[in-house]
Amino acid sequence: MTDLTIALDWTPNINHIGFFVAKDEGFYSKLGLNVSLLNPATDNYEVTPAKKVELGEADFALCPTESVISYRTKERPFPMIAIAALLQEDLSAITVKSDSGIHSPKNLDGKVYSSYKARYEDGIVKEMIKNDGGQGSLEIVYPEKLGIWANLLEGSSDATWIFLNWEGVAAESAGVDLHHFKLSDYQIPYSYSPVIAANESMIADRKEAYHAFLQATKKGFLHCQNHPDEVVEILSNYVPEYDQHIDLSKALEMTAPHFGTEVDWGMLKEERIQAFVDWIKVKGLETSSTEISEIATNDCL
**How much is the average pLDDT of 35-56?**
95
Task: Looking at the structure, tell me whether residues 83 and 215 fall in a common domain.
Answer: yes
pLDDT band at 300, cuts 50/70/90?
A: very high
Task: Looking at the structure, tell me whether residues 38 and 98 fall in a common domain.
Answer: no
CATH code of the domain containing 143: 3.40.190.10
Task: Looking at the structure, tell me whether residues 76 and 214 fall in a common domain.
Answer: yes
Residue 56 lies in a domain: yes
Whether residue 194 is predicted with pLDDT greater than 90 in this model: the reply is: yes
Identity at 30, one-letter amino acid code? K
Residue 99 lies in a domain: yes
Task: Looking at the structure, tell me whether residues 197 and 277 fall in a common domain.
Answer: yes
- pLDDT for 54 equals 98
Task: Looking at the structure, tell me whether residues 237 and 260 fall in a common domain.
Answer: yes
Distance CA(90)–CA(193), nearest Å, equals 7
Whether residue 236 is predicted with pLDDT greater than 90 in this model: the reply is: yes
Distance CA(34)–CA(105), nearest Å, equals 45
- pLDDT for 146 equals 81
Number of domains in the chain: 2
Task: Looking at the structure, tell me whether residues 207 and 67 fall in a common domain.
Answer: yes
pLDDT band at 88, cuts 50/70/90?
A: very high
- pLDDT for 195 equals 98
Identity at 280, one-letter amino acid code? I
Nearest to 41 by CA among 115, 120, 144: 144
Task: Looking at the structure, tell me whether residues 171 and 218 fall in a common domain.
Answer: no
Single out the residue in 127, 162, 186 at which a domain terminates.
186
Whether residue 55 is predicted with pLDDT greater than 90 in this model: the reply is: yes
- Residues 22, 216: contact at Cβ < 8 Å? yes
- pLDDT for 276 equals 97
**How much is the average pLDDT of 16-40?**
98
C-alpha neighbours within 13 Å on the C-beta side of residue 120: 26
pLDDT digits (tens, 9 = 90+) for 284-294: 999 998 999 99
Task: Looking at the structure, tell me whether residues 79 and 106 fall in a common domain.
Answer: no
- More confident of the two residues 57 and 44: 57
- pLDDT for 145 equals 85
Residue 16 lies in a domain: yes
Single out the residue in 186, 218, 238 at which a domain terminates.
186
| Domain span at 237 | 2-89+192-295
- What does the DSSP assignment read for the chain? -EEEEEE-SSSS-GGGHHHHHHHHTTTTGGGTEEEEEE-GGGGTT-S-HHHHHHTTS-SEEEE-HHHHHHHHHSSS---EEEEEES-SS--EEEEEEGGGS--SGGGGTT-EEE----TTHHHHHHHHHHHTTS----EEE---GGGHHHHHHHTS-SBEEEETTTHHHHHHHTT--EEEE-GGGGT-----SSEEEEEHHHHHHHHHHHHHHHHHHHHHHHHHHH-HHHHHHHHHTTS-GGGTTS-HHHHHHHHGGGG--TTTTB---HHHHHHHHHHHHHTTS--S---HHHHB--TT-
- pLDDT for 56 equals 97
Residue 240 lies in a domain: yes
Task: Looking at the structure, tell me whether residues 167 and 248 fall in a common domain.
Answer: no
pLDDT digits (tens, 9 = 90+) for 116-152: 999 999 999 999 999 999 999 999 999 998 889 999 9
Residue 301 lies in a domain: no
Give the phi and the psi of residue 92 in degrees, each rounded to 5. -105, 170
- Residues 139, 113: contact at Cβ < 8 Å? yes
Mean pLDDT of the chain: 97
Sign of the alpha-carbon torsion through 106, 108, 114, 118: positive
